[in-house]
């Protein structure tokens, strides 16, 4: 006789597996029937220092093996080694290009405008690399750049679209490596660990050492350090 559940107890359910980004949006746009679909994302809107870097990716979703697609996830939850592995595995089935906006451009406009402009640069670079224009660009977030290509904003796109996720992985890998290199030129801020984000240690170093040429002066903590006389410009 099968055991019965005790009164007042709830059945134990297996946890629902977390879903990563898929190619559903790309397929819905015709990626398997001849349409060219790009995914675009940015990395580095929030940091106090460094550029904003954008990625644009096209994936041959009909050819990419399931095992390779499974390596592509939200860049924020992947280690540097796992990002590198995903990029290497995806290379035979994808084309990726990067764009960027420098600190001076961020300060001259604003971080949103600079990020959207950098997205356009990434798409332009991918068009040049791939040799054809997109029929649709899937853009992470709720805002679209001003450009001539058909586009769709995808909120939380790096957890929904495989091409957006791959673009973000490439952009994060490139930006993190750049900030690590800059940390050797400007030690003390911890950029090799925080990638320029405003951690407590970074803010403390900013107050003690002053801003570098790579700090965004339009951001409040950097302005505060300048106002306090921390103008080391190391």
Listed residue (173, 157, 195) closest to 50, CA to CA: 195
Give residues with Cβ within 8 angstroms of 187, minimum separation 6. Answer: none
DSSP codes of every residue in 155-176: TTGGGTBHHHHHHHHHHHHHHH
3-state secondary structure 14-75: CCCCCCCCECHHHHHCCHHHCCCEEEEEEECCCCCECCEEEEEEEECCCCCCHHHHCCCCCH
- With bands split at pLDDT 50, 70 and 90, how would you rate the model's confidence at 3? very low
Q: Can you give the pLDDT at residue 228?
A: 87
- With bands split at pLDDT 50, 70 and 90, how would you rate the model's confidence at 231? low
The per-residue pLDDT for range 99-142, each reduced to its tens digit, is 999 999 999 999 999 999 999 999 999 999 999 999 999 999 99
At the second CATH level, the architecture of 24-180 is 2-Layer Sandwich (3.30)
The per-residue pLDDT for range 33-61, each reduced to its tens digit, is 999 999 999 999 999 999 999 999 999 99
Is 159:22 a contact under the CB 8 Å cutoff?
A: no
The per-residue pLDDT for range 145-186, each reduced to its tens digit, is 999 999 999 999 999 999 999 999 999 999 999 999 999 999
Residue range 17-37: mean pLDDT, rounded: 91
The per-residue pLDDT for range 193-226, each reduced to its tens digit, is 999 999 999 999 999 999 999 999 999 999 999 9
Q: Can you give the pLDDT at residue 233?
A: 53
Answer whether 0.85 is exceeded by the pTM: yes
Q: Kindly tell me if the per-residue pLDDT of 15 is higher than 80.
A: no
Residue-range domain boundaries for the chain: 24-180
Q: Can you give the pLDDT at residue 232?
A: 53
Q: Can you give the pLDDT at residue 229?
A: 79
Q: Kindly tell me if the per-residue pLDDT of 7 is higher than 60.
A: no
Q: Kindly tell me if the per-residue pLDDT of 16 is higher than 50.
A: no
Q: Can you give the pLDDT at residue 230?
A: 60
């Amino acid at each position: 006789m099968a055991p019965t559940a005790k009164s007042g107890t709830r059945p134990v359910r297996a946890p629902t597996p977390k879903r990563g980004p898929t190619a559903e949006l790309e397929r819905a746009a015709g990626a398997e029937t001849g349409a060219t679909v790009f995914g675009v994302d940015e990395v580095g809107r929030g940091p106090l220092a460094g550029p904003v870097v954008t990625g644009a990716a096209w994936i041959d979703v009909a050819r990419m093996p399931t095992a390779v697609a499974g390596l592509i996830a939200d860049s924020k939850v992947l280690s540097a080694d796992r990002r590198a592995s995903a990029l290497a595995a995806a290379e035979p089935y994808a084309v990726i290009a990067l764009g960027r906006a420098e600190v001076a451009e961020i300060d001259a406009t604003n971080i949103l405008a600079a990020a959207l402009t950098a997205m356009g640069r990434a798409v332009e670079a991918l068009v040049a690399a791939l040799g054809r224009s997109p029929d649709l660009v899937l853009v992470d977030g709720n805002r679209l750049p001003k450009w001539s290509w058909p586009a769709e904003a995808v909120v939380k796109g790096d957890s929904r679209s495989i091409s957006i996720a791959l673009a973000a992985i490439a952009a994060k890998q490139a930006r993190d490596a750049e900030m690590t290199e800059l940390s050797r030129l400007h030690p003390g801020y911890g950029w090799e660990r925080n990638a320029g984000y405003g951690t407590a240690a970074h803010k403390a170093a900013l107050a003690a050492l002053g801003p570098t040429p790579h700090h965004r002066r339009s951001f409040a903590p950097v302005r505060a350090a300048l106002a306090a006389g921390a103008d080391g410009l190391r």
